[in-house]
Amino acid sequence: MKAGEGSKGRDAQRTQDDTAVTGWRERRAILSDFKSEIIDHPRLSIGFGLFWTWVWLVFQTTFFSPSFLVEADLLLPGWIVPLAAYAVTFLVLGGLLKFKGIVPKGNAYLRLIPAVMSLGVLICGVLTFSPLQDPFVNAVVICFGALLMGAATSCFHVEWGRVLGALGPRKTILHGIVGTVLAAAILVLITSFSATFLWIIAFFIPILGMRLLVDESTSIPGLYPKIEDVRLNVPRRFLATSFTQGLSFGIVQTILLTGNYEVPVELLAGSSFAISALGLFVCALFFRMDFNQLIYQVGFLVMALGYLLMSLVAPSFIAALLVHLTGYRFVDIMMWALCVYLIKQRGLPTNWVFAITTCFLLLGQLTGSLVGAATIAQFSLSGQGAHVLSIVMVFAILSLALVLSDRKNLRTGWGMVRPGDAEEPAGDFEMGCELVCRQYGLTAREGEVLLLLAKGRNRAYICTALTLSKETVKTHIRNIYRKMGIHSQEEVFAAVEAEQKSYGFDGEAPHEMRI
């Protein structure tokens, strides 16, 4: 009787392992890891939340709206000036590394970053409330202050990526979730403050944020590794994803910032922050979804849904904007985690990864802003042109999601890494086995059996290693052979080796039969 009960328990566990929903033990492990990480490193979550509050205030809301742009009757959002400096500085940082091997660092550099950011806020804030008599000079000085904010923010961005890159994608997502919720609370809170007090808050955010980051980074060794003979490449699909994400967001932000809404922009942004964090937490806790699925099947789909609501109701429909912003922020956290993945598990330098990928994101946002401004200038916000633009974006986002989510992303591990996975990187042989599992639709348990088969293990060893009966192992092997269209263990190894070679993996399979 007890043996039967044990068999039923193992069968239930196997069924659970083969589903797309996490088991209760896995959820408990994720929650435990989540809790311990936040308790051990609260400054990272708080500092990350302050960083995103700053980014949204300066680059993605109506906080920075120079009067000369309004007076010139231009539909370009005010953040287009600091955003341009944001993007260009990333190119400079990437170029310094690629062509000169220079990585800015040191205590003086870290102190200079928040000082320049706060100086930019001070210049723009003072001239907003007490403008110079000469409008042209006033506009030039404000643009200079905005350039300071944008350039220094890119350096701050890289330093955050450096620290998170040392921690890994899983912890990045954890702090991203908590930081996002904190940023949402801050954004909602400051909507009740006066404009003057808001500028004062913006002045101190960089100083406090950098203080928290520096305090935390002292306990992390090897933040500035030597760069020697590293191929500075980033997957093209990664860059295309970043650009598409920015393009879509730029168009929506132009609609948002040029429309008249009763709901404050900061409140809308804060709400989308909170919803995206909740959605990501649910996905990480309850579903076995990899980054490929989370970005293209969840994030891009939500972004497209926002545009669909705009086309069906109105481009200014507040719920549609909320849906799109939620999808954007969801993808944004995933992209941060993927940058960290390339840094920690693929050995790419922080300055290069964040410089090139975020630059493409910002270039997409700038392009989207210009496209959105041109469309709205030609047609009214509620006119046919904006509706057509929304429909086009639904088609564009969904089409790109199909193109970008193909199996070639698996080479970098996108389709093999989940938010709930441990930080240890899979070897080339394990990744080859995973590719085979994905190609032939093997279940989780069949994948475990295939891994041991490819290593040359016999059925008795598999039974012991996986605590399975002989008949169960026999059934799994029969299903594997049937799905793959093969008839022997050697063919399993050959299939894995072929996948390794197909995707350029160099690691030799630990196959006992090779000797």
Rounded-to-integer distance, Cα 506 and Cα 13, Å: 35
Confidence (pLDDT) at 17: 44
Beta bridge partners of 257: none
| Tokens found for residue 213 | 């980051």
Residues sharing a CB contact under 8 Å with residue 123, sequence separation 6 or more, in sequence order: 141, 142, 144, 145, 148
Two structure tokens written together for 168: 């890994």
Give the separation between CA 23 and CA 170, rounded to whole angstroms. 18
CA distance 272 to 252: 13
- Identify any residues that bridge with 21 across adjacent strands, giving them in sequence order: 287
Instruction: Provide Rg for the chain, Cα atoms.
Output: 25
pLDDT of residue 480: 92
Report d(CA 397, CA 245) in Å as an integer.
9
Closest CA to 443 of 412, 413, 466: 466
Two tokens, residue 118: 């706060």
Say if CB 181 and CB 374 are below 8 A apart: no
Q: Which of 489, 412, 431 is nearest to 457 (CA)?
A: 489
Q: Quote the pTM value.
A: 0.79
The number of beta carbons lying within 10 Å of the beta carbon of residue 108 is: 8
- What was the pLDDT predicted at 382? 54
CA distance 30 to 448: 21
In angstroms, the CA 238 to CA 513 distance is 38
The CB density around residue 475, as the number of other CB atoms within 10 Å, is: 14
Residues in Cβ contact with 425 at an 8 Å cutoff, skipping those fewer than 6 apart: 344, 345, 413
DSSP state of 412: G
The whole-angstrom separation of Cα 2 and Cα 9 is 10
d(CA 393, CA 387): 10
Q: What is the pLDDT of residue 120?
A: 95
What is the spatial distance between Cα 386 and Cα 367, in angstroms, rounded to a whole number?
Answer: 16
Distance CA 352, CA 65 (A): 31
Instruction: Enumerate the β-bridge partners of residue 287.
Output: 21
Q: Is the distance from CB of 80 to CB of 98 less than 8 angstroms?
A: no
Look at residues 358, 370, 288, 416 and name the one whose alpha carbon lies nearest to residue 92.
358
Taking only the tens of pLDDT, the chain with its 515 residues reads 344 444 444 444 444 444 566 667 777 877 887 888 888 889 999 999 999 999 988 887 767 777 766 666 666 667 788 889 999 999 999 889 888 888 898 999 999 999 999 999 999 999 988 888 888 898 899 999 999 999 999 999 999 999 988 888 888 888 989 999 998 888 888 877 888 888 999 999 999 999 999 998 887 777 777 766 667 777 788 889 999 999 998 888 777 766 655 566 667 777 888 899 888 888 877 777 777 888 888 999 999 999 998 888 877 778 888 899 899 999 998 888 888 888 877 778 888 888 889 999 999 998 988 887 777 777 655 556 667 778 888 888 888 888 887 655 555 555 556 655 555 555 667 777 877 887 787 887 888 898 889 888 889 899 988 888 889 999 999 999 999 989 888 888 888 887 776 655 544 444 443 32
Q: Nearest-CA neighbor of 140 among 125, 154, 127, 153?
A: 127
